[in-house]
Structure 1
Amino acid sequence: MRWLAECSAGSLGEALQAVAPELSGYPIAVSLTAGGDPLWHKSSVVIGEQFIVKFAWSRPAALRLAREISVLTALSREPVVPFLPEVVAGGTDPLLLITRRVPGKSLFEIVDSIDRDLAGRQLASFLAALHHPSVRERAGAAVDRLTVVELPPATTGTLRDQFGRWARPDQRRAVARWCDWADTTLASPGPAVLVHGDLHGDNQVWDGDQLRLVVDFETVAAAEPEYELRALPGPGMGPGVELLTATMRHYQQFTGRQLSRERVMAWHLRNALGDALWRSEAGIPLPDHRTPPQWIDDLAARFSALGIDPEAPPPIQERTRRANQDP
Structure 2
Amino acid sequence: MTPPTPRFLGLSTLALTCAAALVATAGTAQAAPAPAAPELAAADNVEILVEPEVSAELPGVRGSGSAEEPLADAVVADVLAEQGAGIAALDAQDKDVRVDIREASDGSAFGVAIVAVPVGSEEAPEAWLFAADHTAQGWEVGLEGSAEFSDILGGSDLLDAEQREAVATATDPEQDVTAATYIGVGLPFAIGTSMIMTGGPHGWGSGRPYSSVDFAGGNGQARAARGGYAYSLCTGWTRVIHDNGYSTDYYHLENYQWLPGNNVGVGHYLGTQGNSLCAGGSTTGAHIHFGLRAYTDPNAAGWYVPLHGRTLGGWTFVEGAAYGGYVYRNGVGTVYPGGSVYNYGF
Shared fold (TM-score, shorter chain, > 0.5): no
Q: Give the structure with the larger helix fraction.
A: 1
Larger Rg: 2
Q: Give the structure with the larger strand fraction.
A: 2
